[in-house]
Amino acid sequence: MTSLPISIASVRKAYGSYVALDNVSLDIAAGEFLTLLGPSGSGKTTLLMALAGFVRLDGGSLTIGEQDVTRLAPNKREIGIVFQNYALFPHMSVLGNVEYPLMLRKTPRAEARERALAALARVKLDGFGDRNIAALSGGQRQRVALARAIVFEPRVMLMDEPLSALDKNLREHMQFEIRRLHDDLGVTTIYVTHDQREALTMSDRIAVMEAGRIRQMDAPQEIYRRPANRFVAEFMGEANLIVSELLLTATGGTLAGRGLAMIRAEGFDLSPEGIVGENVMIKGKIATKAFRGENWLLNLIADDGSAIMLSIPASRAAGCVGLAAGDIVTAYTPAADIHFLPKEAGA
């Protein structure tokens, strides 16, 4: 199955005074897995539906391969789509659902049957062809939707929050299954989610969206460890944004003048012993603590009144048991892991 690059150039979409897409541009490489990540109303689904052909843009262009598809009808784009609610036909069998895209393309029945069975095998649903959709679990329905989307060998795959209806364990399992399928097929994939962990787990790159704009697009590790702005820092995981004057060096100085420091909750330790290289420390009073199985979560109040969250792994959190609200503690973090946010316009 071949794949195609995608170019999105200065696309705009407004619904009255509400701007859903505000001059969005990005390029996606052939065979790449790109995730559009953001809160509700950020524009990610509007952008995906514009690529699918279900949203007519007010401006800009969409190119798949060398073809401008901006005004092309959805059924002419040859794109595989997996919707949030799967959009399966309840009156058809599993096999009938998967064969349907081939029937629309007037594929000979024998060939359609063979290709549909092969697609079901790819998503590990061998022997499920005769079953009724209503008899399937949520995970199995999601696999049928995937099989239907890949059966006609699209060169681009669009997925709109396909795992949101599944329970946590199944959702995490299916993240790896979808990534495995992507790697197996090599198809260019654009995936929409509001789940940060899901995006980090599955993506080659992530485009973080807010208010119809892309705030940062980069590899998952860069997005998480070196966010480009405050919005991305706070949206991705448990981030502490700390004024540099509160951070103390091992020699008793401060990091004053460096601006706003981002330190992930899991980047702290209650002892400097396990920290490699130079450490930085901050003091605070415990407001709350909670045991979460794999870690202890401590909420501190710093001298300036700001809240600081610590996530201490259970394997090195023996000292957490005896701590109580009101205790003063010192938290340590490697100096090399601190990311200082650039000053934003208007800040």
pTM: 0.91
What pLDDT shows up at residue 108?
A: 93
What pLDDT shows up at residue 321?
A: 81
Going by the DSSP 8-state scheme, the letter that residue 31 receives in this structure is T
What pLDDT shows up at residue 59?
A: 97
Percent of the chain with pLDDT over 90: 64
What pLDDT shows up at residue 84?
A: 81
What pLDDT shows up at residue 41?
A: 92
What pLDDT shows up at residue 345?
A: 47
Structure tokens that stand for 81 in this block: 């789509």
Can you list the residues of the chain whose pLDDT is less than 50? 345-347
What pLDDT shows up at residue 1?
A: 60
DSSP 194-255: S-HHHHHHH-SEEEEEETTEEEEEE-HHHHHHS-SSHHHHHHSSSEEEEEGGG-EETTS-B-
CATH number of 6-235: 3.40.50.300
- Write the class of the CATH domain 240-340: mainly beta
pLDDT digits (tens, 9 = 90+) for 18-66: 999 999 999 999 999 999 999 999 999 999 999 999 999 999 999 999 9
Tell me the CB-side half-sphere exposure of residue 29, using CA atoms within 13 A. Answer: 9
Where are the chain's structural domains?
Answer: 6-235, 240-340
